[in-house]
Amino acid sequence: MAKKKKKKKSARKVRVQFKKNRQSRTRFQDLTKQSHENQEQIEDLETGERLSGKGRLSRYRTVIADDDGRTVDESTCLKGRVLRSIGANSISVQLQDGRKLMCSVRQVLRTMARDGRNAVVAGDHVLLTPLSETDGVIERVEPRFGTLTRISRGEAHVIVANVDQAVIVASVNEPVLKPGLIDRFLCSTEKGDIRGIICLNKMDLGDRVRLQKIAGIYSRLGYQVLMTNALTGEGIDELKRLLLEKETVFTGQSGVGKSSLLNAVQPKLGQLTSSVSGDSHKGRHTTRVTELIPLDGGGWVVDTPGIRQLQLWDVQTEEIEGLFIEFRPFVTRCRFPNCSHTHETNCDVKSAVEAGLIAPLRYQSFLRMVLNENKHQRTPSTQQVNEDEFF
């Protein structure tokens, strides 16, 4: 009996969108230049001009793909996990067999249109072609889940991908505690579909009675709150338990003690640390690169550079209310369906704040975020909350 021939995968052409990053659009007429050169005949100039959408570099390019739309031959590729990414040509990838390769990113992947500034980030699952025992080239990035993202220079900056939870580290002093920044991080974790854990560090520098109030706000919302001290070991055992068999990103301001906590969790990590600036009372950047680090007991941690400001990516003003989990039961009961919860009458969210069902400090964070998204609008006529008075 004759053997059946294997059916070959049919190939098809696919139009892929690319960034136009090498040439500006062609201008067929320059009315500004002509108006300066022909002052006397300015009224006779044409009143319109056209910009070409292509120029010599097309916005689209044709690539050959299989029927399933994939442009990479998986049979010749290896699977790996990005441990560290510096630019497009210095990316450390760990393969499934434990080997590590230093990789670059294929040009076709680098130039494909993306909202983000980085094509490959720490935590990505990738397909790569090995070039030698130590080098390779990344062909494709698998779909991401569990991301922590912010805006940087008008583009999406994915800090890390494919993690389970984020430990938001905030020092109680040096640098000063900023509940508003904690709330922004929590909104980012809600948006990225990862679990948010709050870690109040340097407990020896703060008033415990005062700090119990703010810890209570987040605990009542269902967020895990840890009180730690990397120097004395307070809270470290509980932190280790939360990290076990999980993939966790440590994030927060510079100088809050992220690297010190990681060194306390696993002394062999040897993460660099530094003190807070005596002039600005702000943290100094010690960790320069986002990096995945394996834990001895199982799981991974991700140490990240400090972030002083966090602006949410891909979040419309109307979405912010949904990222504050305690707002959700009340937003549908407002009088107006498009209520912004800032100045309207018969707003159930504002009523919940007055009744003590929503913490005034959290509501104040919401207002700041709404104002940040609507910089050109008038400030809502709401009562401002003084954080010192709250405590």
The letter for the amino acid at 274 is: S
The encoded tokens of residue 280 equal 């600005």
The encoded tokens of residue 215 equal 């810890």
Residue 347 annotated as lining a ligand binding site: yes
Which one, of 68, 49, 50, 58, lies nearest residue 21 by Cα?
58
Which one, of 214, 137, 222, 153, lies nearest residue 179 by Cα?
214
Calculate helix-pair angle for 236-243, 258-265, nearest 10 degrees. Answer: 80
Residue 187 annotated as lining a ligand binding site: no
Residue with tokens 């549908």: 332
Residue 202 annotated as lining a ligand binding site: yes
Residue 259 annotated as lining a ligand binding site: yes
Residue 339 annotated as lining a ligand binding site: yes
Please give the DSSP secondary-structure letter assigned to residue 131. -
Residue 252 annotated as lining a ligand binding site: yes
Residue 13 annotated as lining a ligand binding site: no
Residue 257 annotated as lining a ligand binding site: yes
What distance in Å separates the CA atoms of residue 334 and residue 109, rounded to the nearest whole number?
46
Residue 381 annotated as lining a ligand binding site: no
Residue 260 annotated as lining a ligand binding site: yes
What distance in Å separates the CA atoms of residue 286 and residue 271, rounded to the nearest whole number?
9
- CA 115, 116, 121, 127 torsion-angle sign: positive
SS3 state of residue 104: strand
The encoded tokens of residue 387 equal 């954080």
Cβ-proximal residues to 312 (8 Å cutoff; 6+ apart), any chain: 149, 150, 151, 184, 187, 188, 191, 320, 323, 369
Residue 201 annotated as lining a ligand binding site: yes
Residue 21 annotated as lining a ligand binding site: no
Residue 77 annotated as lining a ligand binding site: no
DSSP 255-280: TSSHHHHHHHH-GGG-----PPPTTT
99 vs 10, 81, 102, 103, 326, CA distance in Å?
Answer: 34, 11, 10, 12, 46
Residue 334 annotated as lining a ligand binding site: yes
The letter for the amino acid at 247 is: E
What distance in Å separates the CA atoms of residue 24 and residue 17, rounded to the nearest whole number?
16
Q: How many CA atoms lie within 13 A of 188 on its CB side?
A: 30
Enclosing H/E stretch for 237? helix 236-243
Detail the residues annotated as belonging to a binding site for Zn(2+). Answer: 334, 339, 341, 347
Binding-site residue ranges for GTP: 201-204, 252-260
Which residues are part of a known binding site? 201-204, 252-260, 334, 339, 341, 347
